[in-house]
Amino acid sequence: MMQGSSAGQQDHPAAGPAAWLAALGAAMAVAMALLMPAAAAAEGRLVAHLSSKAQADPPKGAEGLCRRYDWACARGSSARLTADQIRMADKLNRRINASVRPVTDLAQYGREEHWARPTARGGDCEDIALLKKAELIRMDIAPDRLLLAEVLDGQRNNHAVLILRKDDGDYVLDNLTNRMLPWSQTPYTFLRMQDSSAPHRWKAVFAGGIFRG
């Protein structure tokens, strides 16, 4: 899907804006047209948590994710996050960003899109997001507080991040920065993310970025 990069580097896919438009498909395009006014209004209020809207198809390459990794689609108890867990998440974000080498899916699997954990060779952005989710679940953070999301970066290139759902808002764990930022403080357009109540499903989001008024 996307080239994995360490913090501070750019993360460019093999194709440009046409690729994400094709990936979203006709149903997503219709949903976007219907939901853009509501998304813009919500963005104006700077909602602390991302609000999911219509059901969406999973990103290309993520179709078999739940079969490969049952933990990636596990439900949780929404147990309250502790201060120690939040500090651990920040440290883990930095550590994984520094340790995983950027390798594209095309170079590693011979296909443009394949969501998987990084290999010994490395991984791209969605691989890194998956690794962070797996490690944070091992640290006893509830899975429904850890949501994979697809975004567009400032150049409208596809990118994947992990959302940490804190009580005071959604924070982004990103391989392009070591800072764990509230979603509204990132430059990203949030397209879709896992449904927190049923993570095997994906929901349209349409917030931030191009939806900012």
Q: Is 139 helix (H, G, I), strand (E, B) or coil?
A: coil
Residues 191/14/8/190 CA torsion (nearest 10 deg)? 0
| Rounded-to-integer distance, Cα 172 and Cα 182, Å | 6
| Residue pointed to by tokens 């913090």 | 7
Dig out the tokens for 85 from the structure: 């867990």
- Give the percent of the chain with pLDDT over 70: 77
| Rounded-to-integer distance, Cα 212 and Cα 127, Å | 28
pLDDT tens track for 140-197: 999 999 999 999 998 999 999 999 999 999 999 999 999 999 999 999 999 999 999 9
Contact 110, 146 (CB under 8 A): no
Fold adopted by 17-211: C8orf32 fold (3.10.620)
Question: What's the pTM value of the predicted model, to 2 decimals?
Answer: 0.81
Which residues have a Cβ under 8 Å from the Cβ of 155 and sit 6 or more positions away?
Answer: 12
Q: List residues bridging with 162 in a β-sheet.
A: 148, 173
- CA distances for 210 relative to 27, 109, 156, 169, angstroms: 19, 32, 9, 21
> Who has greater pLDDT, 26 or 156?
156
Contact 133, 156 (CB under 8 A): no
